[in-house]
Structure formats: structure tokens, C-alpha cells
Structure 1
Amino acid sequence: MKKAAVCWVSVGGGPAYALWCLPVEGALLVVSGPGEQSAPGLADATGAQVTLRGDHGGRIVTWPAQVTRLRPGTEEWTTAAPLVAAKRLNASGPSAGLVDRWAAEGCALNRLAPAGAPVAGADLPAGSLAEEPRPAPVVRTTRKPFRLHRVRRR
């Protein structure tokens, strides 16, 4: 978990969403909300399933997580938010401004801590869990490439 940069989080048995995360002290910190990544249901959840994958895309482990929302103005927020903001890729402006924006816009900074035994390797499914991409407003249909001449098939 300490090498994780992306985790897949499922809340309430729903679909898993790939989320950028920051490992800190045996837990993962995840920020979501307006202007940040989408994590439906995570802001108000108390539990979730977290899946971590290896360098080649294969699942390494899935574990139940206790979800704790860190609130602006608390000591936990003051400690964790600047760490997450400093590691945030492609952020516009300085990290202090990012932390202020998260607090003002109601973004959720959640701590995902292990809350039970991970799923053992023998309990993982043998087949693929690949799914069709979920519909999203940013997805466009792919058109066939334009060809100037006819391609002969042998």
C-alpha cells in the first residue's frame, strides 16, 4: 500500500472508481468533490472496499476500509491536507491555495484505513473482472479511420 498512487474504491457494493491517492501512515488519503475526482458516495460513507493493483494491472489485494472524513479546521485536516495538496498533479496555483479551495468548495478529504483482513489470493476470482466503460459525458464514439484506397484481405 505504501507505493500506491491509484486505488479502486467501491462504496456500498457499487462500481469501483479509480482514484488518485496518497499513502500516509498505513492509510490512503483521497480527495474528491467539485473540481477534483469523482467518488460517488465516498464523502458520507463509513466503509468501502479498496483494491490495489500491480505495475502490470493485475490485482494485488482487496481489503475493507474504514472511511473517515477529515473536516476543515481540525488538527487532522491541518496536517493531512497540505501533504495531499503538495502531491496533487496538475494543480493550478500553490498548494496552500488548493487547500483553501478544498475547504471553501466542500471537497471531501477522506482517510481510508484497513478495517479487516484482506481478501486472500485463493479467494480472488480466476476470471477477468473487466467491464464495459460506464457512460460519461466525456466519452465519444470512435469512428472508423478514413482510407484512401481499398485494402485487400487475403
Structure 2
Amino acid sequence: MSERLQAGDTAPAFTLPDADGNQVSLADHLGRKVIVYFYPAALTPGCTTQACDFTDNLEVFSGAGYDVIGVSPDKPEKLGKFRETEDLKVTLVSDVDKAVLEAYGAYGEKKLYGKTVVGVIRSTVVVDEQGKVEHALYNVKATGHVAKLLRDLKIATA
């Protein structure tokens, strides 16, 4: 079971392929804040709701100085299909071997329908301009999470 991150920790560096096979690195975003969110599977109802919420609010986050990166264990091809099917604008990256999910504490035991299973823990980590963890949120809900994040980060919406 991986350790959960805390505010003040250095965010684990990563470079992962996006839906088009291009490499996306956390280091590419130094100087901007980054919302890294972890979700179990593309093209599932909860993950679609969450990805669409992030897409719908991408300009608001961007205007407040935040980039958004979604991470799942899906292959890049599936992420491409997810992006096309749902017209997503957020950057989606593939962590097939789950190394980044584990480094961020977003993979491990969780409750699913009352059973303990091992899998992706829906999580969001906010990284500051210097690469430090500002907020680490675990077991977040797919629905309403983006609205709560906007409130918690004190980002004004139109």
C-alpha cells in the first residue's frame, strides 16, 4: 500500500504518454499550479462525469493559473477514444504500470460496494508552482468534486 502524500511534500516527478503518445511531464508545468487527478477507468459513468466537469471548468482553472492532468491505468488508445467520445479538453495520461498512481498514494486497498478491493483510489493532488503538494485529497467523489475543488481553492467562477 502506497503512502499518501501530505501538503508540503515534493510531488513525485512523472513522465507519461498522453492519448496521442506524446510524453507529458510534471516538470513541464513548473511555474504553474497543476491539478493532478487520478481516476479508475475511462469511459465509465463516474469517470466520465468527473472528466466532463474538469473540461467544463478548464478555462476557469487555467485563468486562475492551474493546469489539469488526469491519470488512469488505461492505455493511450483508450484515452484517445475517451477524449473523442466525450469531447474532453483536459490532458489525459496513461499509467499502465501504475507506478505514478502508487507514488501519489492513489492505488491500493479501497472499499467497493462493501468489499475491500485493490485498485485506483479516486484522488486529486494540487501541486504548486515549485512542485510541492498544496492539497492531497483521497477517496473523492466523482460527482461534485470539481465544484468543491473550485470552492476549496477559492477560484471564482463566472
Question: Counting helix residues as a fraction of each chain, which structure ranks higher?
Answer: 2
User: Which range, TM-score by smaller chain?
Assistant: under 0.3
Larger Rg: 1
- Greater relative CO (CA pairs within 8 A, separation 6+): 2
- Calculate the TM-score normalised by the size of structure 1: 0.26
- Calculate the TM-score normalised by the size of structure 2: 0.26
